Amino acid sequence: MTKRHSIAEPCQNLAAVVLELERRARIELACRAKPAAVMLSMREFERVSAHRSPFWDAYEAFRESVNLS
């Protein structure tokens, strides 16, 4: 479950929020009660970014697989 904090809270107590990320995958930050940003644990960041190809490699693979003419 994603926990939501006011955007001011990490500014006031960054260490506590970072320690909380060790127990959670992500923390949502809200500004005026609306979602504004997300903080990810390092584990979650590595999971979502692990199997991505660099943009140019993915673009060239797309161009080779699709006839654009």
Domains of the chain, by residue range, sit at 3-65
CA angle 23, 27, 29 (to 5 degrees): 155
pTM to 2 decimal places:
0.60
Mean pLDDT per 10-residue run, the chain (69 residues)? 75 85 90 90 89 84 87
Give residue 1's pLDDT. Answer: 61
Q: Could you tell me the strand order of the sheet in which 26-31 lies?
A: 3-6, 26-31, 34-40
Give residue 49's pLDDT. Answer: 83
**For the domain 3-65, what is the CATH code?**
3.40.1620.10
Give residue 14's pLDDT. Answer: 85
